[in-house]
Structure 1
């Protein structure tokens, strides 16, 4: 025998308090800045430090600065900030060095061609990748050299001693980065080789260059190397620096790539062999794409370090961006208490722009290639 029972509530349920907010600026502050007493103390100290540091920086860079169009007398006035008028007056020297003024159109064409060719290479969805790569890696270097150096097609010859500024910094960085990539990959593969001779040579090369400071390499390339050359042989100073920077960077890049190769499971190598692929085929199609994807942060870190290390070439008499800033600081026509500091701030900002761009592009590529290994 079954009976149906039912429950009927005779009174209302007491009201509950409204739920707390889960988003908004106050919630974010509580969660990220004031979650614990220690976080609160550190946040307050950080705010106090910013209140102490930002006003003087703002006054120097913007508030009391003398902008383009100002005079040297304004820069010399008591309490004046950064002399941006001086940067504007010497801007061409910072970019081109001692390159003849009436020939500025030649490096400008090189800058424009480089930007037009490298931007499509950085965008994975851009079409005609092979043609673009051939133009950038083969045609562009030749065109750039003959445009900048001259001596052909009626162009006035401009020796590399007159090159300088940001132009030389970009040349050294681009050549060092582009040439060190294939050389570093080959060295990494050679160090992983089962052939004793190849492995020993690669290990000796890598350890030699990693054990020597870059400044020593530059001194050897610029000062000591001519002593070992045949009498009458003269190798361009900029070319010697390019070779030294490339070899130095390739040794560090090789170890970065080797880390990516060692991170791959052995099954990837065996899978390639089971498909009947030869060594170079499975290395090109299977191993390297995965290894390089894993070490993108390390590779870009090497590139950023190389770009900043280009400033060391100033020690051997090459007028890169930093050297032009140092040389211009002795210009008595713009002598002021903030002249040198303004020049170094400008140089630091230029380095920051390129390094920050490489860092952001690296993060974007990491997110795009992060296919994951979820089951």
Structure 2
């Protein structure tokens, strides 16, 4: 009997998926050739990439690493790859990379900035990652004083006496707050360290150095340079601009008229002036406002100006985060009976910082790149050192190799900050 049923009585064997729906072909169709305009743009982009790499890669790899001058470098490339061949002269990087990294820092003391850099990574770890024990925050707080002593040298008792000033301020805050009021305690916390720094820190350090001499060879700021100088200015500006920016943002939203006017005036003035102008003020005009005979370190002046400049922009970033919070968050804090500082610390500021993460990191990246501007006022950052290297008769005329090396190092640092920002956004789920 013939079976005319419309329902299949046996299962068909499995067949592989169509080639157009799997693997690289599917990816290409979905991402590069999903439509006619997309296909045209993809072809143009692929041609541009091919054109760029076909000219760039031979220049990068048909190069010389052993020459001692630009002329010798070009001669060795021509001998190895044929007359008329152009290639990179990486020999200048091999010969001057230490100078580009350390500037004119004494060669026998390179271990000091190296150790300071490693300790910086350790100090940043508990700030950047929650898995690190919070007891490490004590080392993070002490690191600026350790790094100062390692880089500049001198007596160890000077940074220790500065630490003592902050300890005295903390003691004054607790003692005076219990005896009087919290406001008076905060005033004492600010006044006591200032008096200590002005009148007692130096003499006490000298006395202790006479009793127990512990010191490193002093290195003057004129010998600082290269990426060491850029990292020093950039990391210091980043570390101090965030808390100052938070204070300025809160002050701008304060109900106290004097506080608000001061914060608004500072923010608008700094944001209305180019950074290079502030650097010129730091390098030339600032000494005119100091008492006669005062020796105000040039690097310290630049760090102060860079930090203030970044703080003004950071304040607006934080203010944007505060403005983005729903009004219910403020009302919820009030309903819990929290005062202003408790609400700000526990509810408002964590959410505002979470919202502002991308803009905060963008400001940090911009600040780190802006450290190259210090070359205009005579500090030998990598850009300033590249100018000095090109002035050497042996390397006169070399450009792209130096700037390429500097660009790669800056890219590594800025890319790392960008990746950390994305990691933090995913961890905190900023979009939710």
Q: Quickly say closer, same or farther: Cα 1:262–1:11, change in 2 above 3 A.
A: closer
SS in 1 for 2:130: coil
SS in 2 for 1:250: helix
The aligned runs of 1:271-350 (5 Å cut-off) are 271-335=332-396, 337=397, 339-350=398-409
Q: Mark the runs of 5 or more structure 2 residues left unpaired by the alignment.
A: 79-84, 156-213
- Which residue in the other structure is 1:39 paired with? 38
SS in 2 for 1:217: helix
CA drift at 1:22: 4.2
Determine which structure has greater relative contact order: mean sequence separation of CA pairs < 8 Å that are 6+ residues apart, divided by chain length. Answer: 1
- Name the stretch that deviates more: 26-35 or 250-259: 26-35
- Which residue in the other structure is 1:133 paired with? 137
- Which residue in the other structure is 1:353 paired with? 412
Q: TM-score, normalised by structure 2?
A: 0.78
CA drift at 1:340: 2.1
- Which residue in the other structure is 1:76 paired with? 74
Alignment partners' CA distance in 2, 1:332 and 1:349: 25
Alignment partners' CA distance in 2, 1:18 and 1:132: 56
- Which residue in the other structure is 1:147 paired with? 150
SS in 1 for 2:104: coil
Q: Is the 8 A contact 2:64 2:88 kept in 1?
A: yes
The aligned runs of 1:265-276 (5 Å cut-off) are 265-276=326-337
Alignment partners' CA distance in 2, 1:280 and 1:257: 16
SS in 2 for 1:34: coil
Q: How many residues align?
A: 358
Q: Is the 8 A contact 1:66 1:74 kept in 2?
A: no
Alignment partners' CA distance in 1, 2:256 and 2:43: 60
CA drift at 1:71: 4.9
Alignment partners' CA distance in 2, 1:250 and 1:89: 38
CA drift at 1:271: 0.9
Q: Quickly say closer, same or farther: Cα 1:207–1:47, change in 2 above 3 A.
A: same
SS in 2 for 1:124: coil
CA drift at 1:70: 4.8
- Which residue in the other structure is 1:247 paired with? 308
The aligned runs of 1:1-375 (5 Å cut-off) are 10-11=5-6, 22-61=21-60, 63-67=61-65, 69-72=66-69, 74-77=72-75, 78=78, 79-127=85-133, 129=134, 131-136=135-140, 138-152=141-155, 153-335=214-396, 337=397, 339-370=398-429, 373=432
SS in 1 for 2:216: coil
Q: Is the 8 A contact 1:222 1:237 kept in 2?
A: yes
Q: TM-score, normalised by structure 1?
A: 0.90
CA drift at 1:52: 1.1
Q: Quickly say closer, same or farther: Cα 1:9–1:208, change in 2 above 3 A.
A: farther
CA drift at 1:102: 1.6
Q: Mark the runs of 5 or more structure 1 residues left unpaired by the alignment.
A: 1-7
CA RMSD in angstroms comes to: 2.1
Alignment partners' CA distance in 1, 2:357 and 2:35: 36
CA drift at 1:135: 1.5
Alignment partners' CA distance in 1, 2:368 and 2:6: 76
SS in 2 for 1:332: coil
Q: Is the 8 A contact 1:94 1:321 kept in 2?
A: yes
Q: Is the 8 A contact 2:389 2:395 kept in 1?
A: no
Q: Is the 8 A contact 2:123 2:136 kept in 1?
A: yes
